[in-house]
Amino acid sequence: MAREPEWSDWRVFLAVAKHGSTLGAGKALRMSQSTAARRITALEEALAVRLFERRAQGYRLTDAGEAVLPLAQALEGAAVAAEGRARAQARALGGTVRITSEEVFAVTLLTPWLRELHLAHPEIRIELDSSRELRDLGAGEADIALRSTSKAQPEGLVGRVLQGDDWALYCSRDYAAQHGLPHNRHDLLHHNIIGGGGGGLWRVYSGWLEEMGLLDRVTMQYDGSNGLLSGIKSGLGVGVLPCIVARADSDLLQCLRPMSQHDRKLWLLTHERVRHNPNVRLVADFLYERLMRHIRATDPALNPPPEPVLRAAP
């Protein structure tokens, strides 16, 4: 008698459908190819239907497999959401608050402040997630987010706008002393540009560099925003940084005005489900107060050079 299908069988089904082979699925799920193949066979026997055609090129969904694919995907989504909610509840009961943020904000802003928070409230355990992956607060993947976005917030999220998320070109004082401080596009043609930042940042940044005819001036490229900061501070060249970070660093000099034609704003967010949790509320209020204090102290008694204005890539 065939056993009843388990959720783990559907995970293998989805992995084979995605990768087109039991070898690819096995690598993704960290199991052997033979185990993945046996799980698919067992699932088909339990359902009394063939879900894949076995071909020399790999596995291909049958009509029956295509029919159940969206249902299996929905099952996966529900399982992930349930796991996230359960972890969020466990964090709440255990005094843990998980914060998600862009890497450069996590390292330069949040980490020093969280030391203060720990000294004042050692009973609260903080998890700081600086992954590039956007964490779903509704699914319980994090409790608080410091997030830059131009989009409307999903239903259930609550929070406060901090300020516009402006980015501008900066260099170190040492670099400016050796090579001069660029003030316009013509100047930048004679300077080293540091590229990268990863994901959406590099798409906008590289688009602007290409529009300005500066893309071939990129001499070093990093895959993360913290790498950009490190490269600029080391004196490698000129690169883009968030103004909320760079304005507070006396070693950094602003070269051009920040991007002005964008709608991105910095938000401090949480979810309706956890906003009244005492620990989440305490951490969110603490971070908001520190962020607003930082913004008031650094923005903007500076007098940036008058031209040119950076424009966001279309």
How confident is the model over 167-195, as pLDDT tens digits?
999 999 999 999 999 999 899 999 999 99
β-bridge pairing 252-254 and 167-172: antiparallel
In sequence order, which ranges of 101-167 are alpha helices (DSSP H)? 103-105, 111-120
Residue ranges for the chain with pLDDT beneath 70: 1-3, 84-94, 259-261, 300-314
Q: Whole-prediction pTM value?
A: 0.67
Neighbours of 183 (CB within 10 A): 15
* Contact status, residue 237 vs residue 175, Cβ threshold 8 Å: yes
**Domains in the chain with CATH codes:** 7-85 (1.10.10.10), 95-314 (3.40.190.290)
Strand order in the sheet with 252-254: 239-242, 167-172, 252-254
For Cα atoms 270, 275, 278, give the angle at the middle one, nearest 5 degrees. Answer: 125
- What's the confidence (pLDDT) of residue 171? 96
Neighbours of 179 (CB within 10 A): 16
Tokens matching residue 89: 């509840």
In sequence order, which ranges of the chain are alpha helices (DSSP H)? 7-19, 22-29, 33-47, 63-94, 103-105, 111-120, 173-179, 185-188, 199-211, 225-233, 243-246, 278-298
- What's the confidence (pLDDT) of residue 263? 82
* Contact status, residue 35 vs residue 29, Cβ threshold 8 Å: no
pLDDT, tens digit (0-9, with 9 covering 90-100), for 97-132? 999 999 999 999 999 999 999 999 988 999 999 988
- What's the confidence (pLDDT) of residue 312? 36
State how far the Cα of 186 lies from the Cα of 181, in Å rounded to an integer.
12
- What's the confidence (pLDDT) of residue 60? 92
β-bridge pairing 167-172 and 239-242: antiparallel
- What's the confidence (pLDDT) of residue 92? 58
Residue 122: cis peptide before it, omega within 30 degrees of 0: no
- What's the confidence (pLDDT) of residue 84? 67
* Contact status, residue 295 vs residue 244, Cβ threshold 8 Å: yes
